[in-house]
Amino acid sequence: MSNALPDHEGTYLKISGLWKAFGEFLALKDISLTIEEGEFVCFLGPSGCGKTTLLRAIAGLDLQTKGEIVQAGQDISILPPAERDFGIVFQSYALFPNLTIEKNIAFGLENSGLAKSAITARVAELLELVGLPDQGKKYPAQLSGGQQQRIALARAIAMSPGLLLLDEPLSALDAKVRVHLRHEVKDLQRKLGITTVMVTHDQEEALSMADRIVVMNHGVIEQIGTPTDIYREPETLFVADFIGEMNQIPAVTHSMTEAGPRSVNIGELTVRCSDHGFAAGQSVIAAVRPEDIIPHGPGARSEGAPDMIAEPDNAFNVQISEMEFLGSFWRTRLTGSNLGGAELIADFSINAVRRMDIAEGNDLVIEIPSKRLKIFENPVDAE
């Protein structure tokens, strides 16, 4: 295996052609990606997608079946965990219950040959860093879950590793603590500038914390991108469906010679959509996020359509079958005889609902911006 330096300056971790098999089961299938120095990357996906297996391969806890891992220019593919440069935090905290908080943090430092005074100073510095300067004499059981996870973080970075690995570190905490702590973890990572890889199944966690997200499914990478790219420009139907809420509407690509190459038929409607590479007449899934559906007020659309409609071909009548108040917005269910039996979910602001008198049972004109209507292969046809 090669000990070549990174392909370009700034690449800290490079994974090439990684496979992992457990008997007949392939947990990872030809995984390749690069992570930049100081970057915060989330491996995101459902249970069993391979994200934890990939993290454990990076740590050397489960060696890959084949493939190469290069960290800071050094091939670490077959090195044992003790010879790799990383700190790791697990979901379960993994603190020693019989040791004080100070002793837990100092555990790795005590085997490094540092003087006692230097260890004491480092522990105090780390306790200050994670916001628990007065907790050193306590035992783990005397701390809350959020405090214990901060101590686990302090212990993981005590040796100043080049890489921080986080295996679902917040999932055991209650919702309010989790939201608070994810901001703290991100701030700490930025302050230290440490390259960080976090495994999570929580899409909100990944969107709020990561510089880039690696979306995984069935042992392969579906998409890599910034949180904005992943959310706004999903490349597969799986990513579109897994990240956030997404309407999925059966559609048929329209003839290239009539409405153009960027149109689909949904029920009785022909609407324009984002670019796609499907042939005319192909069964597809048209997808749009609820917040991208624009309301234009009540009443049937006629020749006197509101001037504010930017794309008349993508504006049509619907009926409001149900409304659900979710605090900062209303989630509505929309139906229409022209939709071919499809139902749309749309999220409207409180102001829009009040201004347009949007209510259950009313008619409504809505518009779907063509660039927000994404077209994907119909999974039924792909089987």
The Cα–Cα gap between 353 and 330 comes to 8
Q: Is the Cβ–Cβ distance between 351 and 338 less than 8 Å?
A: no
Tell the residue number behind the tokens 């979910």, with chain if given. Answer: 345
* Same domain, residue pair 152 and 267: no
In this structure, the strands spanning 40-44 and 212-217 are parallel
- pLDDT for position 287: 97
Q: Quick one: 104 and 213 in the same domain?
A: yes
What residues have CB less than 8 Å from 331, skipping those under 6 apart? 290, 323, 324, 345, 346, 347
Report the relative pairing of strands 87-90 and 163-167 from DSSP bridges: parallel
The bridge status of strand 74-75 relative to strand 66-71 is antiparallel
User: β-pairing, 11-22 with 344-349?
Assistant: unpaired
Cα end-to-end distance, the chain, whole Å: 38
Tell me the average confidence (pLDDT) per consecutive run of 10 residues in the chain, 383 residues long: 44 97 96 97 96 97 96 96 95 91 93 90 95 95 94 94 95 88 93 96 95 97 97 96 94 68 88 88 95 84 60 92 95 93 95 92 94 92 59
Kindly state whether residues 220 and 283 are assigned to the same domain. Answer: no
> Tell me, what amino acid is at 76?
I
pTM of the complete model: 0.90
How open is the CA angle 313-316-322, to the nearest 5 degrees? 150
Phi, psi at 19, each rounded to 5°: -125, 145
Quote the CA–CA distance of 349 and 327 in Å, as a whole number: 10
Tell whether 276 and 194 lie within a shared domain: no
Does one domain contain both 305 and 182? no
Q: What is the pLDDT of residues 269-312, one digit of tens each?
A: 999 999 888 888 999 999 999 999 999 987 555 444 455 788 88
For residue 42, the tally of other CB atoms under 10 A from its CB is 27
CA–CA distance, 278 with 29 (Å, rounded to integer): 27
Is 263 exposed, middle or buried, given 0-12, 13-18 or 19+ CB atoms closer than 10 A? Answer: buried
Q: Say if residue 72 is in the same domain as residue 94.
A: yes
Is 6 a member of any domain?
no
Pair 276, 215 in one domain: no
CATH number of residue 151's parent domain: 3.40.50.300
- Domain membership flag for residue 1: no
What integer pLDDT is reported at residue 6 of this predicted model? 38
- Residue 20: alpha-carbon gap to chain centroid: 23
Predicted pLDDT at 300:
53
Contacts of 4 (CB under 8 A, 6+ apart): 70, 73
Structure tokens at 255: 């003839």
For 191-239, give the DSSP string.
HHT-EEEEEES-HHHHHHH-SEEEEEETTEEEEEE-HHHHHHS-SSHHH
- Of 211, 241, 271, at which residue does a domain stop? 241
Output the pLDDT for position 41.
Answer: 98
Listed residues 215, 241, 267: the one ending a domain: 241
Q: Quick one: pLDDT at residue 261?
A: 57
Residues 6 or more apart whose CB falls under 8 angstroms from that of 355 comprise none
Q: Same domain for 211 and 303? A: no
Choose the final residue of a domain: 218, 241, 264. Answer: 241
CB 89 within 8 A of CB 166: yes
Number of compact structural domains in the chain: 2
Do 258 and 294 fall within a single domain?
yes
**What is the pLDDT, as a whole number, of residue 383?**
53
The DSSP call for residue 356 is: T
Q: Is residue 3 part of a domain?
A: no
Q: What is the CATH number of the domain that holds 287?
A: 2.40.50.100
Cα gap 368→348, rounded to integer Å? 13
What's the domain range around 325?
Answer: 246-382
Quote the pLDDT of residue 7.
44
Phi/psi of residue 240, nearest 5 degrees: -60, -40
pLDDT at 302: 47
Distance CA 69, CA 76 (A): 6
